[in-house]
A and B are shown apart, each in its own frame.
Chain A
Amino acid sequence: AQKVTQAQTEISVVEKEDVTLDCVYETRDTTYYLFWYKQPPSGELVFLIRRNSFDEQNEISGRYSWNFQKSTSSFNFTITASQVVDSAVYFCALSEDSGNTPLVFGKGTRLSVIA
């Protein structure tokens, strides 16, 4: 069975600090997809990134970067020079490529960036 663990329930940082959100996953499939979503106070879930299990390259997009390590089953997300607008709940999710298996979400990490 698939499972996503986000051990950090809440994180609070001061603006301009770097912060890393952890995500550990479990799956029996060799082909799977990992995702990060951001949910600001408005409620809408915003898609940030998709990574498939065969692509272990790290990715950087502006202040955001993702570190995918199959050896430790982790897909961590780092925000550099955090800003108040980064305050949100961040969800890591997993989808197995074995047919009708949609997203399984972690419990989310609430990030508060203080000015």
Chain B
Amino acid sequence: DTEVTQTPKHLVMGMTNKKSLKCEQHMGHRAMYWYKQKAKKPPELMFVYSYEKLSINESVPSRFSPECPNSSLLNLHLHALQPEDSALYLCASSQPLAGTTYNEQFFGPGTRLTVL
């Protein structure tokens, strides 16, 4: 099984809503990532979990809250978002090479989020 799954595929939410994005991989990867991608832009890193611990937070606003319940699952909890947070949210995973922390990342299909 060489895939990363993400749910939901599409999400529309109001600025006062609380919602969660989910990501799952069964490749035994120990690093998982959240990226945000605006239209016609490259993905921007948000968070990295390495061995289920948050290792990188790229100064993301606190209205985005990541969670890694176990080595296969990664969640992104959303609360009080703004319309400018509308984007494609991509999850990825990788298996670190010996001596490095990160290797090629395998991406999920993304959740297309619209904040009204």
List of B residues within 8 angstroms of A47 by Cβ = 104-107
Is the pair A42, B109 in contact by a Cβ cutoff of 8 Å? Answer: yes
Is the pair B42, A91 in contact by a Cβ cutoff of 8 Å? Answer: yes
* B74 located at the interface, meaning its Cβ lies under 8 Å from any Cβ of chain A in the complex: no
Q: Known A42-B109, A43-B88, A44-B108; judge A95-B42 contact (CB<8 A).
A: no
Tally of contact residues, A, Cβ under 8 A: 22
Cβ of B38 to closest chain A Cβ, rounded Å:
12
Is the pair B33, A43 in contact by a Cβ cutoff of 8 Å? Answer: no
Q: Which residue of B lies closest to A43 (CB)?
A: B110
Residues of B67-91 whose CB lies within 8 A of A: 88, 90
The proximity string for A residues 50-77 relative to B, scoring 1 for CB distances below 8 Å and 0 otherwise, is: 1000000000000000000000000000
The proximity string for B residues 36-56 relative to A, scoring 1 for CB distances below 8 Å and 0 otherwise, is: 000001110100101000011
* B interface residues, Cβ below 8 angstroms from A: 33, 41-43, 45, 48, 50, 55-56, 88, 90, 92, 99-110, 112
8 additional A-B pairs beyond A43-B112, A103-B45, beta carbons within 8 Å, are A35-B104, A43-B109, A44-B107, A44-B108, A47-B107, A100-B102, A101-B101, A105-B43
